Amino acid sequence: MLNVQNLNIYYGRKQVIKEATFQIQPGEIVGLIGPNGAGKTTIMKTLLGLTKFTGTITFNHQPITANSHQPLQQVGALIENPAVYPFLSGRENLELYSQDTADMKRLINRLGMDTYIDEPAKAYSIGMKQKLGIALALLNKPKFVILDEPMNGLDIEATILIRQIIHEYAAQGTAFLISSHVLSELQKVMTSVIILNHHEIVMNVPIDQFKNAPVTQYQIKTLDNEAAAKILKANDIFYRRQNQSLFINIADIDQVQTILRHHQMMLRELVPVRKTFEQSIVEVLKEKLVDE
Ligand SMILES: Nc1ncnc2c1ncn2[C@@H]1O[C@H](COP(=O)(O)OP(=O)(O)OP(=O)(O)O)[C@@H](O)[C@H]1O
C-alpha cells in the first residue's frame, strides 16, 4: 500500500531524514517513535507531499511528490494542531471536506460530538478541537491515516474511544501511521513499530516482538517477606523489595527456592517479570548511542 524507499530529507543543509525505507500494508497500525527532533513530523509531512525529498514514496503504486498529490485523496491526516476554521462550527468545518454526508454524521455520532458540533469551533476546548481534527482525518473512509500525537489533550474516556475507533477502521482495512510520546498508549493500538533515532530508522518490527520479551526477574511473595529477605541477604543473594514483593534475578531463582524451602518458608506467589515496552525502547535508543 505505502512504499517508502531511500527517503532523504534536508532542511537547508541539515539532513533531517537519512535513507528511510519502510512499507505499510492495509489494516496495519504502525507506531512512529523517537526522541524530540528525531524527524517524526517531518516524515509525516513528507508523506503528505508537503516537503521536498529524494527517494521514492508510492501509495498504491502511484508516486507522491511535493508536486504530485493525486494519491492523497485516499489519505487522511492530523498533523500538529488541527487545521480548523474558528468561526465555523465543527459541522461546517467537516462539510468543507466531506464527500459523504451519511459517513460524516456517523463519524460525529461515533466520536460523541453531537452536543457541540453546531457551536463555533473557537469555543471548543483543546480536547474537543482534537476530536474534530481526528474526525477530519477520518472523513470519507480513507485508506491510510496519518496521526501525529492524536491523544494530545484527550481525557481518558476520549482516549479509549479513539483507540476503539482506530481498531474499527483498521479492521476495515485502513492503515495508520501514528506518532506519540505516550508509549503505553501507542502500545495498546499498534501492530508494528518504527523507531527513529538521530534521523534514521533504527528498528522496524512487529509489536509482538516486544510482547514476547524475555523474562528478566521473578517477583516472589512469601508469608513473611521480612524474614525471607534476611535469609536471602545472609546467603548473599541480590533482591529488591517493592510493593510487598521481592524481585529476584532470573539466574538466582532456583537457588532462592531451595534456600527458602530449607528454612520451611513456602512461596505464595512466583511471577515472571518481563522487560516493559518502554524499557525495551529506551535500550534500543541507548544501543544506537553506544554504537556511535
Ligand atoms: N521548517 C523547518 N526548518 C528547519 N528545520 C526544521 C523545520 N522543521 C523541523 N526542523 C528540524 O528537523 C528536525 C526534525 O524535526 P521534527 O519536527 O520532524 O521532529 P519530531 O521527531 O517530530 O520531534 P518532536 O517529537 O519534538 O515533535 C529537528 O531538528 C527540527 O529542528
Residue 81 sits in the same domain as residue 59: yes
User: What residue's CA is closest to ligand 1, atom 25?
Assistant: 36
| Domain count within the chain | 2
Residue 95 sits in the same domain as residue 138: yes
User: For position 271, what pLDDT does the model report?
Assistant: 93
Residue 167 sits in the same domain as residue 88: yes
User: What residue's CA is closest to ligand 1, atom 24?
Assistant: 36
CATH number of the domain encompassing residue 52: 3.40.50.300
pLDDT, tens digit (0-9, with 9 covering 90-100), for 132-162:
999 999 999 999 999 999 998 899 999 999 9
In this predicted structure, the answer to whether residue 111 has a pLDDT above a threshold of 70 is yes
Residue 89 sits in the same domain as residue 159: yes
Residue 158 sits in the same domain as residue 246: no
Mean pLDDT of the residues in the chain: 91
Residue 257 sits in which domain range? Answer: 215-274
In this predicted structure, the answer to whether residue 286 has a pLDDT above a threshold of 70 is yes
CATH number of the domain encompassing residue 230: 3.30.70
Instruction: Residue 110: name the closest of 138, 83, 89, 129 by CA.
Output: 138
Pocket probe for ligand 1: among 15, 41, 196, the residue whose CB has the most ligand atoms within 8 Å is 41
Q: Which residues line ligand 1 (CB under 6 A)?
A: 11, 16, 34, 36-42
Residue 203 sits in the same domain as residue 239: no
User: What residue's CA is closest to ligand 1, atom 26?
Assistant: 36
User: For position 288, what pLDDT does the model report?
Assistant: 59
Other Cβ atoms less than 10 A from the Cβ of 271: the count is 12
pLDDT, tens digit (0-9, with 9 covering 90-100), for 155-195:
999 999 999 999 999 999 999 999 988 888 888 899 999 99
Residues 95, 89 contacting (CB under 8 angstroms): no
Residue 107 sits in the same domain as residue 135: yes
Residue 103 sits in the same domain as residue 156: yes
Q: What is the mean pLDDT of residues 41-64?
A: 92
Q: Please state the pTM of the whole predicted model.
A: 0.84
pLDDT, tens digit (0-9, with 9 covering 90-100), for 206-235:
988 877 778 889 999 999 999 999 999 999
Dihedral (Cα; 235, 238, 241, 247), 10-degree rounding: -110
Say if the ipTM goes beyond 0.90.
Answer: yes
Residue 166 sits in the same domain as residue 266: no
Pocket probe for ligand 1: among 14, 15, 33, 42, the residue whose CB has the most ligand atoms within 8 Å is 42
How far is the C-alpha of 89 from the C-alpha of 123, rounded, in Å? Answer: 9
The angle at the Cα of 134, spanning 129 to 140, to the nearest 5 degrees, equals 130
Residue with cell 525505507: 21
Q: What is the mean pLDDT of residues 80-97?
A: 91
Integer distance in angstroms from the first to the last C-alpha of the chain? 34
127's CB contacts (< 8 A; 6+ apart) are 153, 154, 155, 158
pLDDT, tens digit (0-9, with 9 covering 90-100), for 227-268:
999 999 999 999 999 888 999 999 999 999 999 999 999 899
Joined together, the cell numbers standing for residue 143 give: 485508506
H or E segment and range at residue 17 = strand 14-24
